[in-house]
Amino acid sequence: MKITRLLAASTGIAIAGALVATALPATAAQPVGDAYKHKADIGAETSPYPTSWFAGSLGSGKTTDSVADTASGLTVVGDYQLMNGANTGDGAAIAALVSNARVVVPQGAAAFQISLFAHPDAATAQEKGFTTLRPTSFADPTTASLPAPDAAGGWTTSQNIDATHVKDGAYSLNELLEAIGPDAQILATGVFLNRSTGPNSVAAITWNGLTTRFTPAGTATVDKPSVSQSEFAATGVTFTFSGFVPGESVWLTSDGERSPDDYLADEDGIVIVTLGGTGASDGLVAPDTYSIDAEGMRSGVVEVVSFTITADESTTPETPAYTPTGDEKLVLKTSGTLTAGSKLTVDGSGFRPGTVVSFELHSDPIALGSAVADQNGVLSFVTTVPTSAPAGSHTLVALVNGQQIATAAVQIAATARPAALAETGVEANTGLLAAGALVLAGLTMVLVRRRANAIDAA
């Protein structure tokens, strides 16, 4: 049975994170392009912007009450700017970068923002044309992607770009980028969190091919890294996956096939799933090493763990070796000449009582059958010489569990053939037909003569 059949019958539960400590660690493979950052990794804003994650300066009247690492990610009460001066991307490709960007907000809301210089080579700060582009509405937990570049009224600017594209106006991103021109330089990207929608949690931000996660780093563990087929069928194997967004759906896949059901991560972002344990009635899963992937549908977190099912040890008892008594012997009881198809009788003695003795005719082994030694170690075996046995000298071999114990010489004579007819072929047959014709003619003449005599007498 394939492991994927068990995904349909798997059971999933969620437990507190403290209970996970007893599980055995296994290597978890994160997707390429993932990084984890937490509160301690967030620095302060500097001028120019630092080439790392930092908390941006807030405007007048805006304050931050608290920032905390939680299972949902970086959770903020109050106003906050979470920005990254690294991995900014090409200013000439902002529309393409936005099309592939994602923001995961488990609770509250967040507005993505792109800070840039329109003319980075200008002489003065004012001429450089600093502005920040952001969506006109904050992303709620159900909105993972940013507004499309051509979405009418989907974007705004923090500063006037020209007389037509002004601060806080609503435009498509493509309109704003055309007004900014092709020389833009991205300074930093990130999100703005507003007190009015809080508390706000940011689980992940994807930009320029890199996903930065603010949730706890995920793990994948299995309680039995190696298990026999029978043990897997009887008790199953339990997997623990962590690092997901609390409450999100998690899918399992194996061998490219997905489980028909999904599982909900608990308040700590943990999912526990048991495979197997359905009993032998479902059949045994083939021995192999299997990989189970768990993927969060909102966060995109992928955790992978492998385990091995080993073949059950054979339960067939080994056949004990026969210990010869040293007195085993065979005596042929058949009198006369042996030929193919004739009866062959042999007596045996000296065997251990109850021993099953098999007989073969060698040199090319031909199985003849078997007999059981009685309580005195005596047996009698009767068989027919196989028609396939060639004429000549042979050896009758007595075996116990494949072990040769005793032998007896056997001479098989060639089968007699019919004399003249078999040797003369067509000529003999022709002569026979001619002789038969003469005999028939003689009989006819005799009958005719007897009839003539009878008529004369009358």
Model confidence over 377-414: pLDDT tens digits? Answer: 999 999 999 988 899 999 999 999 989 999 999 998 98
Q: How far apart are CA 274 and CA 289, in angstroms?
A: 17
Q: Does a structural domain hold residue 110?
A: yes
Number of domains in the chain: 3
DSSP string spanning 104-127?
A: E-SBS-BEEEEEEESSTT-SSHHH
Whether 167 and 157 have beta carbons less than 8 Å apart is answered as yes
Same domain for 200 and 74: yes
Q: Does residue 429 form part of some domain? A: no
Do the domain assignments include residue 342? yes
Boundaries of domain holding 383: 329-413
> Of 280, 310, 340, which residue is a domain's last?
310
User: Are 103 and 249 members of one domain?
Assistant: no
Residue 264 belongs to a domain with what CATH number?
Answer: 2.60.40.10
Flag whether 143 is in a domain.
Answer: yes
Give pLDDT tens digits for 268-323: 999 999 988 876 445 678 899 999 999 999 899 999 999 999 998 876 666 778 89
Q: Answer yes or no: do 230 and 366 share one domain.
A: no
Share of the chain above pLDDT 70, in %: 79
The single-letter DSSP state of residue 145 is B
Say which CATH number the domain at 403 has.
2.60.40.1930
Q: With H, G, I as helix, E, B as strand and everything else as coil, classify residue 32.
A: coil
Q: Which of 279, 310, 341 corresponds to the end of one domain?
A: 310
Highest mean pLDDT among 48-57, 140-149, 357-366: 48-57
Distance (Å, whole) CA 214 – CA 52? 14
112 shares its domain with 57: yes
pLDDT reported for residue 137: 81
Residue 374 lies in a domain: yes
> In terms of domains, do 209 and 225 share one?
no
Residue 323 falls inside a structural domain: no
Distance CA 406, CA 399 (A): 7
> What's the pLDDT tens digit per position in 23-81?
233 333 334 468 999 999 999 999 999 999 999 999 889 999 999 999 999 999 999 99
